[in-house]
């Protein structure tokens, strides 16, 4: 008798839908706020560097080629919920998650993103939003295929649009706590225009950068779910401040008018990039001179004048410096001062952090406790985890469908076990029973 009732129930639910659209585990409705308000709410941020953007053919050759093999290839441990929560507990309000989406991609010319890789990224995005932080995902260096745009524009644009179409679809129901970033630093080509030479090719290089950013906006706005209103992050030309402030760089046309611009700050390069002397520059162990401070403030003011004052908020998507061959106090001074100055000018600073760097992924905290206090004093946010479990998502697939009702019916018939954390107690009476099933049916019919 129980089995017969279950079959009738399952068939009746299957009649109206196999997949009723509903928010994902980390989703809610988009708030009626401007991108400027959203960026301000982020406070300060940190990167999950050298993790999901790790790439190379050698990874699959020397491993099983699974998602975690890629995320650990450049020295990171497997990312855990505790690692992500630790970042939120240190006061960070946004986590930028660089991604190489070509990992595990079939080489058949269709540019189909691996479902397993996308799901692993989604899991970390869920943890990020669940911890109370905003999440930014992008197409990062990804093996450098974006460098092919000047010589193979049509195929490169096909790949770019195809990949963003899939990313947009995969995360379409996420709330405005998820931001898409068009690219990393690669929108700029020395083969077209040499910034240290003449102006030959400059207008063509900027036009291509602008075209790619426009394609990004067009793809996202034409996709489903919350994407027509999603806040977007537009990569500046090579994410250089001076190049992005050049009149030839244009923000895309956006019907939603929900965009911020992204630049990076690694200046002066002798301190912020070089660990030892190179043929193009000399490594510098200290930072903090009057000249250093003046240069920093000049670039922050430049972004304020060109963008923030024009209603376009700025995210310093990366800023940072190595610790090797650097004076520890100068490292602390650089990181805290850049953070403070960027925030003072209205920008959101997002520190670059990699395995073994400023954030200890084993201890789940910043290595330098004095730095943590200094950064928190700028715009640190208290740890405020968010409810990320979708009520009624009995089978845990991040959507609300007839399958959830079937699963709850199985539980009530003692044919299925549910975890203690299952969101099945829909009337919050401390028990899971027929009343909850009735509520779930109403939710599905309403959807």
Nearest Cα to 342, choosing from 384, 303, 288? 303
Could you tell me the end-to-end alpha-carbon distance of the chain, in angstroms, rounded to an integer?
30
Per-residue H/E/C for 299-342? HHHHHHHHCHHHCCCEEEEEECCCCCCCCHHHHHHHHHHHHHHH
Is 185 annotated as catalytic?
A: yes
Nearest Cα to 168, choosing from 222, 110, 109? 222
Q: What is the distance between the alpha carbons of residues 303 and 300, in angstroms, rounded to a whole number?
A: 5
**Peptide bond before 50: cis, by omega within 30 degrees of 0?**
no
Instruction: Report yes or no: 138 and 186 within 8 Å, Cβ to Cβ.
Output: no
Q: What is the distance between the alpha carbons of residues 24 and 226, in angstroms, rounded to a whole number?
A: 11
Catalytic residue among 90, 181, 185, 341: 185
Q: What is the distance between the alpha carbons of residues 316 and 213, in angstroms, rounded to a whole number?
A: 18
Nearest Cα to 317, choosing from 195, 128, 137? 137
Pairing of strands 134-138, 359-360: unpaired
Pairing of strands 359-360, 94-97: unpaired
Which residues pair with residue 318 across a beta bridge? 264
Catalytic residue among 53, 71, 318, 341: 318
**Peptide bond before 268: cis, by omega within 30 degrees of 0?**
yes
Is 29 annotated as catalytic?
A: no
Nearest Cα to 132, choosing from 41, 260, 50? 41
Instruction: Classify 160 as helix, strand or coil.
Output: helix
Residue 210 Cα distances to 97, 182, 204, 233, 303, angstroms: 23, 11, 10, 13, 18
- Would you name the residues annotated as active-site residues? 185, 318
């Amino acid at each position: 008798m129980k089995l017969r009732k279950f079959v009738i129930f399952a068939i009746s639910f299957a009649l109206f839908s196999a997949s009723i659209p509903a928010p994902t585990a980390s989703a809610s409705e988009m708030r009626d706020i401007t991108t400027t308000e959203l960026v301000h709410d982020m406070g300060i941020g940190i990167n999950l560097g050298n993790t999901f953007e790790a790439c190379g053919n050698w990874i699959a050759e020397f491993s099983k080629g699974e998602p975690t093999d890629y995320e650990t290839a450049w020295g990171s441990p497997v990312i855990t919920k505790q690692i992500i929560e630790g970042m939120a507990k240190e006061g960070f309000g946004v986590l930028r998650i660089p991604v190489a989406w070509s990992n595990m991609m079939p080489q058949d010319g269709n540019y189909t993103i691996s479902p397993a890789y996308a799901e692993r990224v989604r899991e970390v995005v869920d943890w990020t939003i669940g911890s109370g932080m905003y999440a930014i995902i992008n197409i990062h260096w990804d093996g450098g295929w974006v460098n092919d745009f000047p010589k193979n524009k049509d195929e490169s644009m096909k790949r770019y649009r195809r990949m963003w179409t899939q990313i947009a679809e995969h995360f379409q129901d996420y709330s405005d706590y998820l931001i898409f970033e068009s690219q990393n630093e690669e929108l700029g080509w020395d083969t077209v225009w040499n910034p240290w030479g003449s102006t030959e090719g400059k207008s063509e290089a900027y036009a291509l950068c602008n075209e790619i950013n426009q394609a990004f906006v067009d793809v996202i706005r034409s996709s489903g779910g919350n994407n027509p209103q999603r806040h977007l992050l537009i990569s500046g030309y090579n994410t250089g401040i001076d190049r992005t402030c050049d009149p030839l760089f244009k923000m895309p046309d956006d019907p939603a008018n929900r965009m911020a611009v992204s630049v990076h700050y690694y200046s002066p390069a002798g301190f912020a990039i070089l660990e030892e002397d190179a043929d193009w520059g000399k490594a510098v162990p200290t930072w903090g001179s009057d000249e250093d401070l003046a240069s920093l403030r000049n670039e922050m003011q430049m972004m304020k004048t060109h963008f923030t004052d024009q209603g376009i908020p700025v995210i310093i998507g990366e800023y940072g410096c190595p610790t090797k061959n650097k004076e520890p106090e100068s490292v602390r001074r650089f990181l805290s001062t850049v953070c403070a100055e960027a925030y003072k000018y209205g920008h959101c600073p997002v520190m670059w952090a990699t395995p073994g760097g400023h954030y200890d992924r084993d201890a789940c905290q910043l290595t330098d406790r004095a730095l943590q206090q200094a950064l928190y004093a700028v715009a640190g946010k208290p740890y405020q985890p968010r409810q990320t479990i979708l009520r009624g998502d009995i089978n845990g697939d991040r959507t609300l469908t007839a399958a959830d009702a079937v699963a709850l019916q199985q539980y009530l018939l003692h044919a299925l076990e549910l975890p203690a954390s299952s969101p099945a107690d829909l009337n919050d009476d401390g028990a899971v029973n027929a009343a909850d099933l009735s509520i779930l049916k109403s939710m599905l019919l309403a959807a």
